[in-house]
Chains A and B, each alone.
Chain A
């Protein structure tokens, strides 16, 4: 164990050292090889311009290289593989897409992903906003926010364990150790094996993601709400608006753009949801989602890269509108700068 800690430390030193060496070294080489010099005839050659046209590339080269290798090339390659057979060797045209659209499991995954998209961003934003607004009105708001904040640091797998324990099921004769079934039985109803109830179990899995994403929404909305001038709110109140009117007519419109950003961010996370489903049900009991289905096709029963890539591309296609919107928004803001 000590050896591994030392290795890790050494690796950090090497990684940092190598990065610094690269940046410092290439800059030094550039300065030396394109240094200003004095010709024999006494004229001075200033090559600052050449140097400065090369230097930016030295700065961004490692980043560009990594982005190309780890993100751009894979997108192109996945697109190509989706047109090939399972082994990635024979061209099959659109056969994988044809398969997808008549495969019950794929359609179920698309349906479930849509369900997640409809609910998780809305619920997370709703709860996040509720906490942000309520916490401003009570003296213990900061403490409340800290508590609600915590799940954000918990991994999806960790959260799955936590909630699996909440949903734990024992037969009706036994004492329940899952708190949800304990509540249900206290109220006189039959205990349920929550994650195995088709259709409804999707919601029980979604609760986990909402639980993790609400703090994120809360933090951002808190900051945005703080940006609303107090006078605006006071003016509305003096004119006789009640708190609900103040919220819906003044606050919400003011922070609408923030809501949209948070909504989109959570939407992307939902599209990629994988860990929770893998850990809770592995897609059984009709809870399949695209990312888990892709993982299954990639690595189950010998692996089928064609179908796996096709499923992955579905996620990519769903993300493209968001990507375009993101770029537009960015360009608009750059223009304003």
Chain B
């Protein structure tokens, strides 16, 4: 029996593995022919062209689907072309669950792209990630603007409790921005608001004229609710000093602290005002965040403002010219609060979840200016890399976002991403969904605090 079973089992196993390899879809076409566009630092590629990784498969799991997946594939394709490696990118909008399944199954991808440091920290503590090493840490300190904050965000205790550098930030998003159509705003007779008081006054005015100032949609499949915490965080930074914000993200001050509840209620003064949101309050919870900017481009306009991170441009209608058909302004601070110009941002964190020479080479490739430029030149990608050629930004809009990023008096990372996964990617979202559907802010916040306590 045994003699019969094992070889057969093995051959079938081998067969199914082989079928996987034969089928591995290689990354999509290269968008910029190698060596041609003078804006790019093509010399970055030299040391990768010397590598021979042919036959080596590098699997990558990340949060991107649709247009974003094509974008990341266009970068990975250059790496493939140079090294001969075969990069298989799998995108999932529920990658938060998928990576845990993969890890538990013992089949993690070589490289994982985390949208949230909190989740990466959880996995690092379980020994699922391989440290990137001191050399890499040094590199980030030297080559990234505000390098130490990026190192801190990527450093977590490993399974023995020793802090190690695990996560490399590639592709940063700016969250504190409001999108609008310059022509529509001008036609309606308003200037770009520069203080929160202004913004609120303009919104009131638009509503008084029978139009709708805001488009807000927080649905997102499994992750429904996540855009709402961004609002609350941005408002926290505009109503409280950054120290309070930090204390909030680590639960040193409880989630149902009056200062947090206040921020939630200010968010509610936008999102729960039936005259202020396109489609009414019910639409806030029901409309997918990717579709929520649509109102900006409708005729007549469904709304005038849309607060969302820089990546949202990928979901603007085809043919939208940034800076012309759509533009952004900085989500302004309250003049009365005098808290400077706070900026909320986020980024994707690349970590090695299954070590291999190919995985190391890929992370190494991402540190090159070229890797950042290839994406910057196409769509919503900001880079804190000091060595990139700013001319490579696809348009002025992106370049100006880069400037906001660098000019911030306070920079804070998306707080929900810093909270434990079950809070920042769970209870907080649910609470905001409940709040938008009618719950009181204090009750919603208290629910999050209870969930947080049950983790400890």
Contacts and interface: CB of A to CB of B under 8 A. Distances in A.
Interface of A: 3-4, 7, 10-11, 14-15, 18, 21-22, 25-26, 87, 99, 103-105, 169-174, 192-193, 195-198, 278, 281-286, 295-296, 298-303
B4 A25 contact: yes
7 contacts: A14-B8, A169-B283, A193-B283, A301-B421, A302-B122, A302-B125, A302-B126
Contacts of B286: 169, 193, 195-196
Nearest to B420: A301
A299 B98 CA distance: 7
B263 interface: no
Contact of A284 (B19, B224, B278, B423): B224
Given A11-B16, A170-B279, A301 B119 contact: yes
Given A3-B19, A193-B285, A285-B433, A296 B123 contact: no
Contacts of B125: 302
Contacts of B160: none
Nearest to B225: A284
A16 to B, nearest CB: 12
Interface in B394-430: 420-423, 425-426, 429-430
B182 interface: no
Contacts of A303: 100, 103-104
Across the A-B interface, give the 3 residue pairs with the lowest CB-CB distance, nearest first.
A301-B421, A171-B279, A302-B122
Contacts of B422: 300-302
A14 B103 CA distance: 30
Contacts of A15: 12
A299 B438 contact: no
Contacts of B104: 299, 303
A21 B4 contact: yes
A18 B8 contact: yes
A300 B97 contact: yes
Contact of A22 (B4, B103, B282, B454): B4
Contact of B22 (A3, A18, A170, A296): A3
B200 interface: no
A11 B119 contact: no
Q: Helix, strand, loop or mixed for chain B's interface?
A: helix
Given A171-B280, A193-B283, A282-B222, A302 B421 contact: yes
Contacts of B8: 14, 18
B23 A299 contact: no
Given A3-B19, A303-B100, 13 more contacts: A7-B22, A169-B287, A192-B282, A193-B285, A198-B434, A282-B221, A282-B222, A284-B225, A296-B426, A299-B97, A301-B421, A301-B423, A302-B126
B425 A104 contact: no
B1 interface: yes
Nearest to B122: A302
A180 B126 CA distance: 47
B386 interface: no
A298 B1 CA distance: 36
B96 interface: yes
B15 interface: yes
Nearest to A87: B126
A300 B16 contact: no
Contacts of A4: 19, 22-23
A22 B123 CA distance: 43
Nearest to B12: A14
B201 to A, nearest CB: 24
Contact of A285 (B23, B100, B285, B450): B285
A295 B279 CA distance: 33
Interface string B1-32: 10010001001100110110011000000000
A11 B222 CA distance: 34
B325 to A, nearest CB: 22
A295 B101 CA distance: 10
Nearest to B124: A302
Contact of B100 (A25, A105, A302): A302
